[in-house]
Structures are given as C-alpha cells and as structure tokens.
Amino acid sequence: MRAAPTILHLDMDAFYASVEQASKPSLRGKAVIVGGLGPRGVVATASYEARRFGVHSAMPMAQARRLCPNGAYLIPRFTLYRQVSDVVMALLRELSPLVEPLSLDEAFVDLEAGGTAFDSAGARATGERLRADIRAATGLSGSVGLAGSKMLAKVASEEAKPAGLLLIEPGTERELLAPMSVRTLPGVGPATGEHLRRAGITTVGDLAEAGEDELVRMLGRSHGVGLYRMALGIDDRPVVAERDAKSVSVEDTFDVDLHDRVRIRTEVQRLADRCVQRLRGSGHSGRTIVLKVRRYDFSTLTRSETLRGPTDDPAVVREAAARLLEGVDTTGGVRLLGVGVTGLADYTQEDLFAQSLAAEPQEGTGEAPGPDGPSGAGGAAGAAAGALEGAEGAAGTEPPGERPGAPGEPEAAVERRWTAGSDVRHAVYGPGWVQGSGVGRVTVRFERPGSEPGRVRTFRVDDPELAPSDPLPLVGDEPPAPASPAPSAS
C-alpha cells in the first residue's frame, strides 16, 4: 500500500457501444447492444440506455432481444475498437512508462513511475486532465479511479461510472469498503459469493469481522488469506508494464448444431488457421495444441497434444487439431468448436517431419496433397454468430465462393450478405452503415461521426454502387474516398 493515491485505473464507459454511438449519430441516446447476432450469440457490451432494460454483458442475445426489443443490435467492429484503444493507450503512456493494459478499454497506470504525481492533488489533476484528453482525442468518456493500490483503484473507477473520477485517500479504505458487497472484491464470483452468503457474510465489512482464521476454514488458505487482506484494503501488487500471454485461441459457436463429420473437420481446420494468424500476430509460437468441443448437451471436452518443439506452422497446427478431433465423439451434434495454442515461446522449431510428409507425393497419384483448408466450406459463413471476433469483417459482407461447374456453364450468382452495423460506401451517397437486410434488399443509413443523424435508403443487395468500407475515424478528417466504381454495362 502506498502513502499517496498514485495508482490510476482507467475504464472506458460501455466501450464498444459508446464507439458505435459516436460513429453512428442516429444511435446517440438510444439502446445499443453489441455482440453476436445469431440465435446463440452473446452480448459483448450494452450501452447505458440498454442497461436500464436489464441488458448486460455475457447475457444471451435472445434474452437481450426479449428485454429490449427496440434496441439497435450490431456486430462488433474490432478493427475500429483497436484503433480507438491505441489512441487511449498512447495517452496513458504519456503519463508513465508503467502501463498495464487489462483489455482494449481498461488499464492501470503507475503515476509515480512517470513522475506525474506524488500526492493526492497531483493525482487528481492528472486524472481530470486524462479524462479531458481522452474526450478530445476520441469523443468518448472514461472513468478514473485513483488509490494507493490496484484493487482500490479499480473499485474507485467502478464507483465513478459513468464518466467520473473517484480518489480514495489512503487511510479511508476500510470505511469505504465496509458497506460494499463481497462481490466487489476480485476473486469473489457467484459460487464463492453464495457460499459466503450462507455463512451470513454479505459485505466486505462482514469479511473483515469474520477474521482470517474463519475465512481460511471456509475457503482454504490461499483464497481465505487473500480475501481477508483485500477486505482490509491491503494489496501490494505492482503495476506491470508487460504481461506475458499464456495462450492464444479462437472459437466459434454455431447457429445450428453440426452433425456432418466432414463439415466439423473443415471448421476445425479453419479455426486452426485463424489461431495461427493470431499467434503470429502476437510474435509467438507454441508447443501444445488444444481442441475444445462443446456438444449438443452442453458438455465440453478438451483434448491437447504437445509437440516436440514450438511452432507457428499452420500445417502443423491443422494436423495436430485433426488428430485430436479423431478422438472425440461428435455423433450427437456440436454447438461450439475451438482451437488454441499454449506453451508459448518467442521462437519456432520447424517440424521437419510434418513438412516432409506434406512434400511427399501420395502413393498412386504422383501429386503432393495440399492441406485441407477452409476454402470451399460452404457453411462457414454462418458459423461465427456467437464468436465475437469471428463476427467481425472489415468488409461487412460475405464474398461469394467458387462453385465448380461444367466447362462453359455460367456461374450462379451468389447473393451478398450485409450484416447489421457494418460499414459501407455508396458511389453517390457516400459513407454509411447497414441497418438491416433481407428479401434481396439492404437498408443503409448515411451518416458519419460528428454529423447530424442521416437519411435511410434501401438498395438491392447486389447494387453495384454499394460497396464495403473501412470505419471512419471518430475524431478528425475522413480518409480520402476510394474511386467510385465504374458503371456496369447494361
């Protein structure tokens, strides 16, 4: 515990939903729910207007629609969220070299390490200046907590929501914490909270009064000692600038249970490729491949295989995931699949055996077999309704796949799909976003950040003048518009 409140915790307010409201003026002040839009999707973030109806993060999307039928339901746009997050994190790094990001919208900052603040007055001034800088740079609001420890700073930012600042003076911790619910403390989830409630412990003050010995008896030594210290406001954890990733994984929840074994294999290989892309993007390789399968009855199975050395080779990960799948019974149906890599390292050890197998011609064919990839997986488009990153597409449409046919046979037209919330640009009307689509039509609202609410127009889904677009910046000048498409020959 520090003698001055120089640990800052920033938590952006309803981040994903606030970004959507800032980029779509017609949604300001309205209920906005961001998440997977399929029947098995979940809520990632709900705006404060939606929370009044009882909608909250991690809620099934179907339940959210029942509670708030008139809300705006949008897919996440992680590309834009990362861009905004980078701006916010850059502002935090101007305050101190010790910035510990917890997610895209949340981080701890050690103000003493940056020489920014050494007492309460300096910390408060820094926090107010940070909130103003974030508003100017992004148009968004964030809540700031200041305290002598990480736990208390996080509690303070939560109490300050939305768009506020709370400073906890050292020495007042126990008085502040005492009336709060035990669920306020990190590590107290629903199960532990219920266990404590049955023992008559519902507030942090009750925890402190119960004493360390009683909590150890109830919860075990590690958890009991930790909770007792937190109830007293004691937290000596430092702000750590770099936190090593322990694993990289991707998963998809399917709208309809998968039964076809070939389709399941194809989805696993597609997930393996996405996992390797993320693995390489983080600059890592990994040694242990993990397959996750959630079956029709919600039972979840995990299987893993450890390689001889770390790899970031997509073929090696695909082959390992395929081998793991062979040991899983999927006859009843599969609702979720995931592929992950653990045992991360900063180097790779090429799997020469796998490479030699890939280069070796198949017996009797004289051709080398190509790895089964996601190409041609006709049903892959609807697979990611419940997986948030899988729901994102910079284009916002699903490109048509190739269909083999007889020579000279005209290729059947494949209808483009436009997902609610995705960015588009019209050759005549400019930038906009998809409000909805169906029955061969797509409805677009034409507006941009900072503008007045725009007009709504409806087009054919195959309108040649309507094209996917990148998100516009929330603050600042719009990037140059792409050249208008040439008119199609009639």
User: Residues with catalytic annotation?
Assistant: 106
Measuring CA to CA, how many Å separate 476 from each of 23, 129, 303? 12, 20, 48
Cβ–Cβ < 8 Å for 168, 152? yes
Sole residue written with tokens 């997930």: 271
Q: At what angle do helices 15-23 and 78-93 cross, to 10 degrees?
A: 110
Q: Three-state DSSP class for 132?
A: helix
Structure tokens at 73: 């339901």
Sole residue written with tokens 């911790």: 173
Whether residue 480 is preceded by a cis peptide bond, meaning omega within 30 degrees of 0, is no
Q: What is the C-alpha separation between 25 and 456, in angstroms, rounded? A: 13
- CA angle, corner 271, sides to 391 and 102, nearest 5? 65
Cβ–Cβ < 8 Å for 286, 312? yes
**Burial level of 318, CB count in 10 A (0-12/13-18/19+)?**
buried
State the Cα torsion 296-297-299-303 to the nearest 10°.
Answer: -30
